[in-house]
Every structure is written in C-alpha cells, then in structure tokens.
Structure 1
Amino acid sequence: MPGANERALEKAKGLPADALILDLEDAVAPAAKQEARTRVCAAVAAGAYGRREVAIRVNGRDTPWHADDLRAAAQAGPDAVVVPKIGSPADVHAVERDLDAAGAPGHTLIWAMVETPIAMLRALEIAQASPRLAVLVMGTNDLANELRAQHVPGRAPLLTGLGLCLLAARASGKAILDGVYNDVRDAEGFAAECRQGRELGFDGKTLIHPGQVEPCNRAFSPSAEQLAEAAEIVRAWADAEAAGRGVVTVNGRMIENLHVDNARRLLAVDAAIAGRPRALR
C-alpha cells in the first residue's frame, strides 16, 4: 500500500490480507518521501492494523532516503522491514546493524527482496545471513528487467531464479513470497500465476491491488479435497502406529512419513486460516 496515500492506508485496515507492506519506495514520489515516512510510521506505532503482519518497505541502500527510513521504521517497531535490492550477506548484515543501532525491537524482522541476477546466485548465503532475516521476497519485475527477459505466461525466463530462491528458502527454513502480477485487469492470468506459485512451493504472493487479495487467498488455501485427504492420512497413520503395522495405504496409495508431514502442514495452514479474525476470512 502506498505510504503517501492516506486513503489507501485507511482502506488497508479492512483488507482480508495476512500481511500488509506499507510502501515508502516505488509507490511514493521523491517529493512525498518524508510525508509518507511520517504517516506510515505513525500508523504502525498506533497498532492500526490489528493482527495482520505489518511491514514497512524502506527505500534501497543506494538511495538518500534509506538511512532515515530505517531509523524511523526501527522506532515504529513493525513486524518487519522490507528492504529492496538485497544482493549479498553483507547487505543483510548492514541492515541488521542499522536496525540494532536504531533500537529496533527483536520482533522487527527483515524481509529481503531478491531481484537481481547476483541475488539469485547468492540466495542461500543471503537467506542464512542473519536470524533476523525471516522472508525472501521475489522482485520479479526487476529480475526480468535485468535479465532482459519478457513477461510471458508461465514465466519461463524467470524459473531458474525462482527455483534457486525456493531452494535457498527451504534449505534455510525461511518463508518465501512470489513476486507481483502487474496487470490488475487480467484476472485469468493472475489466477494462473497464483496456481503456478503455489505449485512451485511459494508460501504466498505479494500483491499490488486490493482486488487481487481474495483470488490469491483462494489459490494459496488448501482445498476441501486436500484437507479431507490430509485428515484421512493422519488418521490412517495414527491407527497403523497404534496397531503396530508398518505399512499404511490410503485410497490405494502407500503412505510414508513425508506424506504425513505434508498432511499435517496442510491441516495446520487450515487451522491458522480458521483462527484469523473474521474480517480477514
């Protein structure tokens, strides 16, 4: 949500989103940077967004606004700061030092935007650079630009980078969010990209328009069929263990530990969704 737009920040209070990124970077003109910083930090400090995770996206380290953004964000104490153009562990360490120096509370984590070829190649090092770093955020627009690639259905030019970052996130135990979809009028294309992101393994997707929230929620939520199967797998596994059986089948399919772990994960996701405030469902 653009930090300089008071109406947008107010509208964000009613969006059924799990997390909000209040933006000081691309969505804010240079002349409005200071005003946006003040407005966003005041909203965060006031706890205006309930139980949603709230992050502040600061301007990049190579801009004249970065240092002031980071200091103000640290004092506001959001759930996270989103930092663009992270390309190395040294970038993460610098952000971490600056947050500590500004007195950021321990719960304010780093969400690192990875959006350059060098970031793709260093994704694992970046993900492991700091315990304060919790999320990798794909910057697919900038990545496509630097690759001189085209935005095409299926995102074939970006799949190598997406895969490298997914591997890094899973290897280091971090969450990872897919990049934005630019054409807010193309509902079919957006739904297809959400499906692809979930099939690849992303934990969620970053959005640029309120109209994208509900279809994204549907795409990343377990279906009724998946939940029914997951519950059946967990029950069958528990029954087999109680009976001392070493072989478990569900609907003719052999079940192993990995299937049970995935079933429990899906059920936990569904429980987390059910536990959200009613306005977020």
Structure 2
Amino acid sequence: MSTQRRHDREFVRTFFTTPTAVEGEDDSAKMLRGAVQLRGIEAPDVWVPDNEDATAPSMRDEGAENIIDVISEEGADFPGEIHPRIVWHRDSPETRHQCFKHMLQIADPENGAIEHIDGFVIPEVGDIDDWKKADEFFTIVENEYGLDEGSLAMSVIVESGEAELALGDLRDEMGKPSNNLERLFLLVDGEVDYTKDMRAITPTGGLPPWPELRHNTSRGASANGLIAVDGPYDDIRDVEGYHERMTENQAKGMLGIWSLTPGQVEEANKSPLPPKTGSWLLEVNGRDVELREEDGQYVYDGDGIELEELDDDQYRLTVGGDERELDGDALAEELLDLASYIPSMNDIVDSMEEFEAAKEAGRGAIAMEQSATLLVDDVEVSISNDRMWDEATYQAAQTPITLFQDVYENRPDQHEDLEEMYGEEIVERAMVVG
C-alpha cells in the first residue's frame, strides 16, 4: 500500500481536548464556547470536543447535544480542524452502541454541525478487527446521511497493548475493499490508560516514559501515511518539561502533541517550527548548554569548563576535572567537538537556496561553512567546520520547511503571528523554497 497522505494536513502540531459538558454550570457548554473562540497561535491544529474521559458519564448525552449546538453555531469560523472524541471500548458492546448513537446524532445534517466537523476520535481501540468495527460505523453513518464514503476521518487513541500491536497490521489491512481504513488520520498515544493496560508500576506512581510506544506509533504513522501525536503532558505548569518531551518526540518524527490548555497549545504550535535566531550549544558534563550571544560572540558563563591562556599560543583547558594543555589549533578542534549549532529559519532557507542554485548549475554536493567565535573565561576561540550538503541532506532540511509551509497554507489565522516571528521577507522565501 502507499504511504501517501490522504488528508489536507500533512502535519498536526496540536491536539487540544475540551470537556463537552461541565456539571454545576449554568451553561454546561461553557468550556466548548470558550475553546471555539480560540484564534491565531492559541488555536490548535485539531480541536477535540471530548465526550469521553474529559466529560462525566452522566453528562455525555448532554455533551453530544452541546457539540451540536456550539459547532453548528460557531464551527464555521474555527481556524483548525474539528474532531470530536466519542466513547468506545474494545471490550464493551454497550459502549460501542453508545458511540454509534452519538455519531448518528452529531452527523445528522439537519442538526447543522456535521458540515464543520472533519472526523471523530475513537478511544480505547483494541486489535485491528476492533479498528475495522469502528470504521464500519463511520461507513454506515456516511451512507445514512448521503455523505461520501471516507469523508469523515477516523483518528484512534493507542491505549492498550492490543492497539499497539495493531499498528503493525495496518499496512496489510488498509486499502482492502472490505474496509475503509484509509479514512485513518491521527494515531494518538494515551499513556495513562496504556500504563493501566500494561499493569505497569513505578515507585512514585507516576507514568513511565514509554519511549517504545511513542516510537512504534510514529513508525506506524510513517508507514501508513498518517500523523502521530503524543499523549497529554499533565503538569501544565512545567513548561520546560513540556518542551523536553516535544524535543524528544520530534527526534522520533512525532511532531504533534496533546495540549490541555491554550498555553500548552501556544507552546506546541511554536515548538516544531524553526527558531527565529540560530544558537550555539556547548556540551558540558553530558548536557547541552546554550551560549549567550553578545557582540557577535557566543559566551559560556558556567563553571563546568575552564580556559586559561598561557604563553606562546598555549592554553589550559579543564573540562569536568580533566585538565589539558593545548595549542590554539588543538583547542579550536576540542571546542568544536563540544559545540553544536541550532540553525534558524533564515539559516535553513539560505542553505536550501544555495544548494538549489548549485544543483541548477550541475553540482551534486557543496560544502557549507559554519563558524563562530566562542568566549570562555574571557578567552576568544574561533571555530569553524564545513558540512557537506547533498540531496539527502537537502531532503532532511526540507522537513521543517515543509511543516512551516503546511502551517502557513492551512492556518491563515496565524499569518500575522508567523510574520511577526520571522519577518515578512523570510516568510516569503520559506514559502517558495523546496
């Protein structure tokens, strides 16, 4: 089967859930009405009115009605996609029947919401046969209301060992005439229920990191032309931890993450995009420390590295207690080994444009120089290296630019934010490179 994307979005950065009905409020749809108003960088790529875990079981019928009311009234102006999450469980026919009833209710064209809804999110799926049961409900609903088969996207939440194993069956099942699994859109990790299903225990009672699950979900998405999204990061005040989690995910090809608040949405919308300015890092005691830029130099302010200038082009470098005397060339090589560079949007666009020009001139590879002046303990050290760019390097560099282009094309409400972030000139160049 092909890994070609089947949906308008090639990337989803943010998956934002909102309770559909809140008990004890004069307006139980209050949170839905707030979320549907989000715009710009605070608005998610995918909004998920959540009629499952975020909504009490006794409120779910009212939640389905609230979805209809809010989306029929205001869904047309929401800038992202809308995918309500409804109940499902691999071991409960009763729950699956409730799912079917709510799908029929929400998708009824007479209720006015379905024209603004892009699909539904199905939680608690099991093996691949269970995924096909859910898919059949979508097909029946589409036929009931005269919708095109496959027009409603299906996203699933991987919350069990069965569902994780099903990721390996997708390539064999999608595209068969007996199902419409090509409607699949997002593969979303649900680490809380996954932990419960795996009967995992940690000393603190916290969640294990489950890097294998995130890798397997990302691999399943890549193999089947889908999009992988990580589960919720529930310590909403821990912005640094949220960033670390996203950085780990992005190295696995998982560029999307669940967001629980508009603040998390904003952080996750920005995280996979190239930075506005480039930065140099220095590895110190196993950690990458960002250097401070000052007057064109990159300054190390810590005490994990010490540098003293001696006589006759000799230096004493101490790293983690290891003291060495080096000449200027050897010192530059040593610091170059410890240094790494995070390219800015402008750097990536410049390099891609230069390679495209070289390719047009008939050259298959070119050298790109990176250089900087480091300042450690008031001692200046110039470092530089040449990185070879060939077609493979170019293709790898294109991923963040393709992501940016996808965002710009699909989120016109974020144009102003992006132009403010990068400047109009860089945005224009980034939209045509590649």
Considering the TM-score relative to the shorter chain, is it more than 0.5? yes
Q: CA deviation at 1:134?
A: 1.3
Structure 1 residues 123-134: aligned runs within 5 Å: 123-126=167-170, 129=174, 130-134=181-185
* Match among 267, 271, 274 for residue 405 of structure 2: 271
Change (3 A) 1:150 1:221: farther
Measured after TM superposition, the shift of residue 256 of structure 1 is: 2.6
**What is the CA distance between 1:34 and its match in structure 2?**
0.8
Q: Compute the displacement of 1:73 (Å).
A: 3.6
Match runs of 1:99-248 below 5 Å: 99-103=138-142, 104-105=147-148, 106-126=150-170, 129=174, 130-147=181-198, 148-150=200-202, 157-224=209-276, 225-248=343-366
Asked whether the 8 Å contact 1:135–1:175 carries over to 2, the reply is yes
| Distance across 2 between alignment mates of 1:182 and 1:151 | 19
Structure 2 regions of 5+ residues with no counterpart? Answer: 1-17, 23-28, 175-180, 277-342, 370-385, 418-434
Tell me the alpha carbon deviations over residues 149-171 of structure 1, each in whole angstroms, 9 at most, x when there is no partner: 4498xx76511111111111111
Residue identity matched to 2:242: F
Q: 8 Å contact 2:368–2:388 — kept in the other structure?
A: yes
Cα 1:68–1:23 shift into 2, 3 Å: same
> Any idea what the Cα deviations from partners look like across 1:102-145, whole Å, max 9, x if unmatched?
12554320011111112222213247531100110111111122
**TM-aligned CA deviation for residue 49 of structure 1:** 4.4
**Structure 2 contact 79–413 (Cα < 8 Å) conserved:** no
1:261 positional shift? 2.0
Report the equivalent of 1:262: 396
With normalisation by structure 2, the TM-score equals 0.59
Measured on the aligned residues, the alpha-carbon RMSD in Å equals: 2.5
List per-residue Cα deviations over 1:157-200 (Å, max 9, x = no partner). 51111111111111111101011011223233222222222222
Instruction: Name 2:122's counterpart in structure 1.
Output: 83
Structure 1 gap ranges (5+): none
Q: Select which of 33, 36, 41 maps to 2:63.
A: 36
Task: Return the alpha-carbon distance in structure 2 between the equivalents of residues 109 and 22 of structure 1.
Answer: 15
Per mean C-alpha deviation after superposition, the further-off stretch among 23-32 and 263-272 is 263-272
How many angstroms apart in 1 are the aligned matches of 2:164 and 2:219?
11
Cα displacement (A) at 1:258: 2.6
For normalisation by structure 1, the TM-score amounts to 0.89
Quick check: 2:51–2:85 contact (8 Å CA) kept in 1? yes
Which AA in structure 2 matches 1:117?
A: G
Q: Which amino acid aligns with 1:263?
A: A
Counterpart CA distance in 2 for 1:102 and 1:48 is: 22
Name the SS for the 2:269 alignment partner: helix
Distance 1:149 1:169 in 2: 28
Structure 1 residue 94 displacement after superposition: 1.4
> Is the deviation greater in 53-62 or in 124-133?
124-133
In structure 2, relative to structure 1, the CA distance for the partners of 1:157 and 1:279 (3 Å cut) is closer
> Matched residues, percent identical?
24
Q: How many aligned positions are there?
A: 280
More helix as a share of residues: 1
Q: Distance in 1 between matches of 2:167 and 2:357?
A: 42
Q: 2:137 aligns with which of 72, 76, 98?
A: 98
SS in 2 for 1:102: helix
* Secondary structure, aligned partner of 1:191: helix
CA 1:157–1:169: 2 relative to 1, 3 Å: same
CA distance in 1 between partners of 2:355 and 2:208 (Å): 39
What is the one-letter code of the residue matched to 2:189? M
Do 1:180 and 1:206's aligned partners in 2 also have CA atoms closer than 8 Å?
Answer: yes
Q: Counting strand residues as a fraction of each chain, which structure ranks higher?
A: 2
Could you tell me which amino acid in structure 2 is paired with residue 277 of structure 1? P
Tell me how far 1:16 sits from its aligned partner. 2.2
SS at match of 1:22: strand
Moved more, 107-116 or 268-277: 268-277
Matched AA of 1:165: T
Q: Which residue in the other structure is 1:55 paired with? A: 83
Q: Does 1:67 align with 2:202?
A: no
Partner of 2:324: none
Distance 2:201 2:152 in 1: 35
Structure having the higher Rg: 2
CA separation in 2, counterparts of 1:49 and 1:118?
38
Matched AA of 2:400? L
Q: Is the 8 A contact 1:71 1:99 kept in 2?
A: no
1:56 shift after superposition:
0.6
